[in-house]
Amino acid sequence: MIRAYHFVGATLRDGSPIPADGEWLEFADQCVMCNSGLHASRHPFGALQYAPGATLCLVECENIDSEQTDKLVCRRRRIVARFDATDVLWTMARWSALQVIRLWNAPQVVREYLTTGDESLRAAARDAARDAARAAAWNAAWNAAWAAAQTAAWAAARAAAQDAAWNAAQDAAWNAAWAAAQTAARDAAQDAAWDAAQDAAWAAARAAARAAQQNHFLALVTAKFSALGIAA
């Protein structure tokens, strides 16, 4: 028997009533991951990915049929304890947003709401964030248009220069083109290496960020169950 986590809404997914704490649910038919059987996750962050509602249950599972990275399916499951995780989820959402706030010029009211959780600031923070996003999108579109115009101008200038070079000195043009090709090949190799390094760094950063999210959520959930007198 293992302990795991499971979110529920008003009913179970098949419409059945949610059982009382301590009452065993049993499934006698064939278990199929994500389709049939009794599901749960060893980590609350895994359970969050499949949450149909905000009630988080600490459960015990027996007769596990199969398991994937973030979930399992079993034939017997019972609820040990549960709580309404709405406040925890809001806290988690604000914390996650604060982890990346340095990446944009967030309005002060947004920073205040994310830091304090003051619900009186939520509407103003949402509106300010929306307006900032619209402004950023407009600036991005303008920059893209300007970059496109610059690219077109450069292409035209380059074509004209190539024509002039061809007319003035065909051999010199070919030599310059060959040198440019060599430079381009070298630059392409350097760019490929740089892209590979960036991809690896991004993958590592993303994995680290996900691990930080998982650990923070686990700490919030553990503290909540501990307040209920339950060791999660």
Structure tokens given for 145 = 């248009």
Give CA–CA dist 86/70, Å, rounded.
21
**At 169, is the pLDDT very low, low, confident or very high (cuts 50, 70, 90)?**
very low
How confident is the prediction for the chain on average, in pLDDT? 83
**Residue extents of the structural domains in the chain:** 2-84, 90-194
Give CA–CA dist 99/106, Å, rounded.
12
pLDDT tens-digit readout, 4-35:
999 999 999 889 999 999 999 999 999 999 99
CB atoms within 10 A of CB 124: 14
Decide if 78 contacts 19 (C-beta within 8 A). Answer: yes
Burial of 174-205, coded b for 16+ CB within 10 Å and e otherwise, reads eeeeeeeeeeeeeeeeeeeeeeeeeeeeeeee
Residue 226 confidence (pLDDT): 95
CB pairs under 8 A, 24+ apart, for 183-188? none
Residue 152, pLDDT > 80, answer no
Residue 69, pLDDT > 60, answer yes
Q: pTM for this structure?
A: 0.71
